[in-house]
């Protein structure tokens, strides 16, 4: 590990993840629908979520239950009582000029504190401390034309205003953008296993990141729109700060915005000490008593979480721990794996395909598994085609991207594109004869040195676009050479 003054150990990152409880049907304090995506702007609103004076919030108890399940999953301490605060600020995304949130100071009691999550970085487990997990309402959505600093006006859609949001705050325990990504991936997997949030939905998971290098001041990057973007934003910010330091310019303590299109951070405001929000207790909502029996009841209903699933995958299917870690880092990937195994395929074979070729394809297409039409049935069909000798592994790798992109059956792709393996002896013998004629020098070499046979096999594979049965090809080329040899040595 690098330890110079720009080294990885000099980077400190803390995250504030905002996760919508997308499994809820209604908002946090009113009965408006929380399913705002794709809906006409400002149609899912009422006096409560618009904050019209005189309207009274009513707490969605299911939101508290889901938040408590997340707090339990993150090993947090949960107080007997929790209540809400008004976080006062004037901003167009908050029509009532305050946000109902929770606060850990001034006598505030957030829903939970002092948790931890383990992540795996380069085969080592690392503990990331969770400062608190609390509930708050989502602000409205600001819509810009073009970029935030060039937009001539701002549109506001209040449909999102009041949607239940979990804020999950870590200590600055992360020491690289990659670690931040791994942590967020783990967090997302936990939320998805709990069934409280679908991180694949646009805007369901957003993030603020605090970052400092070489003991310098903290720079906060606000509103990174997805976990995918976090690593990018942090990488840019580290490079920017290092560049300043190397020029002898000091880094300013400030808040910056991540511009996804241009992939740069832009200064929003220079930050003084603690932000000057004023917090007042929200007297329209009574404190929530969290009893032991309520927590016990929730615990008994908690589904299997990624860490437990990882251990089960190694025990039940004999997978290496590393495979199980990769698969459970994404709930949909682990589900996909188990479906393939249930359809009768060998666990390690399925795991190998998923961890290497499938993940690589998804990465190249910048897609998530759930965004594709690719199904376990298709992967199983492809593995069967290899096992039955219809296609070679090489052909399988070739058609996989097309399967993932179009969701088409591998059998159909292979048939349409004429990719079935050539295992007819006569057809192969004919082709081998041609390859030998075209490469007389290689044949001479192969007659003297057996290792040169591989060159001829390579040429045959090229000619057949990988369709020759490799075992049969090897056998037939050797037979062909033996025949040539006998002709040469017999006068
Ligand atoms: Zn409402």
Q: What is the pLDDT of residue 3?
A: 45
Q: What percent of the chain has pLDDT over 90?
A: 57
Q: What is the pLDDT of residue 491?
A: 52
Residue 366: CB atoms within 10 A of its CB come to: 8
**Does position 301 have pLDDT exceeding 80, yes or no?**
yes
CA 8 to ligand 1 center in whole angstroms? 46
Q: Which helix (H) or strand (E) holds 20?
A: strand 11-20
Residue 369: CB atoms within 10 A of its CB come to: 18
Q: Give the predicted TM-score (pTM) of the model.
A: 0.85
Mean pLDDT within 185-192:
96
Q: What is the pLDDT of residue 2?
A: 43
CA angle 291, 282, 109 (to 5 degrees): 45
CA 279 to ligand 1 center in whole angstroms? 23
CA 48 to ligand 1 center in whole angstroms? 5
CA 57 to ligand 1 center in whole angstroms? 9
SS3 (DSSP) at 430: helix
**Does position 292 have pLDDT exceeding 90, yes or no?**
yes
Q: What is the pLDDT of residue 1?
A: 43
What does DSSP assign to residue 354? I
CA 87 to ligand 1 center in whole angstroms? 19
Which segment of 210-224, 297-311, 375-389, 426-440 scores lowest on mean pLDDT? 426-440
Look at residues 35, 285, 257 and name the one whose alpha carbon lies nearest to residue 136.
285
**Does position 275 have pLDDT exceeding 70, yes or no?**
no
CA 24 to ligand 1 center in whole angstroms? 14
CA 332 to ligand 1 center in whole angstroms? 32
pLDDT digits (tens, 9 = 90+) for 339-361: 999 999 999 999 999 999 999 99
Q: What is the pLDDT of residue 454?
A: 85
> Where are the strands (E) in 61-204, listed by range?
81-82, 85-88, 98-101, 112-121, 124-137, 141-144, 154-157, 164-170
Q: How confident is the model at residue 176 (pLDDT cuts 50, 70, 90)?
A: very high
Mean pLDDT within 144-156:
81
Q: How confident is the model at residue 272 (pLDDT cuts 50, 70, 90)?
A: low
**Does position 7 have pLDDT exceeding 80, yes or no?**
no
Token representation of residue 324: 């199980």
What are residue 88's DSSP bridge partners? 98, 278
3-state helix, strand, coil in the chain (%, to 5): 45, 20, 35
Q: Side by side, which strands form the sheet with 278-281?
A: 98-101, 85-88, 278-281
Bin 394: left if φ > 0, else alpha if -120 < ψ < 50, else beta.
alpha
pLDDT digits (tens, 9 = 90+) for 374-415: 999 999 999 999 998 888 888 899 999 999 999 999 999 988
Burial (Cβ within 10 Å: 0-12, 13-18, ≥19) of residue 230: buried
Q: What is the pLDDT of residue 137?
A: 96
- Higher-pLDDT residue of 417 and 302 is 302
CA 289 to ligand 1 center in whole angstroms? 25
CA 61 to ligand 1 center in whole angstroms? 16
Look at residues 483, 477, 472 and name the one whose alpha carbon lies nearest to residue 459.
477
Mean pLDDT of the residues in the chain: 89
CA 33 to ligand 1 center in whole angstroms? 8
CA 55 to ligand 1 center in whole angstroms? 10
CA 156 to ligand 1 center in whole angstroms? 16
CA 99 to ligand 1 center in whole angstroms? 14
Bin 299: left if φ > 0, else alpha if -120 < ψ < 50, else beta.
alpha
Residue 94: CB atoms within 10 A of its CB come to: 18
CA 394 to ligand 1 center in whole angstroms? 56
Which segment of 69-73, 90-94, 271-275, 288-292 scores lowest on mean pLDDT? 271-275
Q: What is the pLDDT of residue 200?
A: 85
What does DSSP assign to residue 287? P
**Does position 311 have pLDDT exceeding 50, yes or no?**
yes
Q: What is the pLDDT of residue 204?
A: 93
CA 38 to ligand 1 center in whole angstroms? 17
Residue with tokens 């062909």: 480
pLDDT digits (tens, 9 = 90+) for 152-171: 888 999 999 999 999 999 99
CA 22 to ligand 1 center in whole angstroms? 16
Cα-based torsion angle of the residue sequence 296, 297, 303, 307 in order, rounded to the nearest 10 degrees: -10
Q: How confident is the model at residue 489 (pLDDT cuts 50, 70, 90)?
A: low
Residue 235: CB atoms within 10 A of its CB come to: 15
**Does position 264 have pLDDT exceeding 70, yes or no?**
yes
CA 59 to ligand 1 center in whole angstroms? 12
CA 158 to ligand 1 center in whole angstroms? 9
What does DSSP assign to residue 297? H
CA 26 to ligand 1 center in whole angstroms? 8
CA 201 to ligand 1 center in whole angstroms? 21
**From residue 353, how far is each of 206, 337, 361, 368, 469 by CA, in Å?**
31, 10, 11, 16, 21
CA 433 to ligand 1 center in whole angstroms? 77
For 90, residues 6+ apart whose C-beta sits below 8 A from its C-beta are 97
CA 43 to ligand 1 center in whole angstroms? 10
């Amino acid at each position: 590990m690098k330890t110079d003054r720009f080294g990885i150990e000099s980077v400190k990152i803390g995250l504030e993840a905002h996760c919508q409880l997308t499994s809820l049907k209604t908002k946090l304090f009113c009965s408006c629908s929380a399913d705002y995506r794709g809906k006409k702007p400002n149609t899912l609103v009422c006096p409560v979520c618009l904050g019209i004076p005189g309207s009274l919030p009513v707490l969605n108890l299911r939101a508290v239950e889901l938040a408590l399940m997340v707090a339990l999953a993150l090993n947090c301490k949960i107080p007997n009582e929790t209540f809400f605060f008004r976080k006062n600020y004037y901003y167009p995304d908050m029509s009532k000029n305050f946000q109902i949130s929770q606060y850990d100071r001034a006598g505030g009691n957030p829903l939970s504190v002092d948790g931890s999550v383990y992540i795996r970085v380069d085969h080592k487990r690392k503990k990331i401390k969770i400062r608190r997990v609390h509930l708050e309402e989502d602000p409205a959505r600001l819509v810009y034309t073009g970029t935030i600093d060039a937009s001539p006006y701002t549109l506001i859609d209040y449909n999102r205003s009041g949607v239940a949001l979990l804020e999950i705050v870590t200590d600055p325990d992360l020491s690289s953008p990659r670690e931040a990504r791994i942590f967020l991936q783990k967090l997302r997997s936990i939320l998805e296993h709990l069934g409280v949030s679908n991180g694949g939905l646009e805007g369901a998971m957003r993030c603020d990141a605090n970052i400092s290098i070489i003991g310098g001041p903290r720079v906060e990057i606000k509103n990174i729109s997805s976990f995918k973007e976090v690593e990018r934003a942090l990488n840019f910010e580290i490079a920017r700060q290092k560049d300043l330091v190397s020029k002898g310019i000091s880094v300013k303590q400030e808040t910056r915005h991540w511009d996804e299109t241009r992939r740069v951070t832009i200064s929003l405001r220079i930050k003084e000490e603690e932000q000057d929000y004023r917090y007042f207790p929200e007297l329209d909502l009574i404190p929530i008593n969290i009893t032991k029996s309520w927590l016990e009841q929730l615990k008994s209903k908690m589904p299997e979480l990624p860490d437990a699933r990882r251990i089960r995958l190694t025990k039940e299917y004999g997978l290496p721990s590393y495979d199980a870690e990769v698969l459970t880092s994404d709930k949909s990937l682990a589900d996909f794996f188990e479906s393939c195994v249930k359809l009768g395929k060998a666990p390690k074979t399925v795991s190998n395909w998923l961890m290497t070729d499938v993940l690589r394809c998804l990465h190249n297409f910048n897609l998530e598994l759930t965004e594709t039409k690719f199904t376990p049935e298709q992967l199983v069909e492809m593995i069967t085609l290899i096992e039955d000798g219809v296609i070679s592994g090489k052909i399988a790798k070739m058609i996989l991207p097309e399967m993932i992109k179009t969701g088409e059956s591998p059998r159909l792709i292979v048939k349409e594109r004429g990719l079935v393996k050539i295992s007819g002896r006569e057809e192969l013998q004919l082709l081998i004869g041609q390859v030998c004629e075209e490469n007389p020098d290689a044949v001479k070499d192969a007659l003297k040195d057996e290792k040169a046979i591989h060159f001829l096999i390579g040429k045959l594979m090229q000619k057949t676009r990988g369709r020759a049965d490799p075992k049969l090809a090897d056998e037939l080329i050797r037979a062909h050479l033996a025949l040539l040899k006998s002709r040469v040595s017999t006068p």
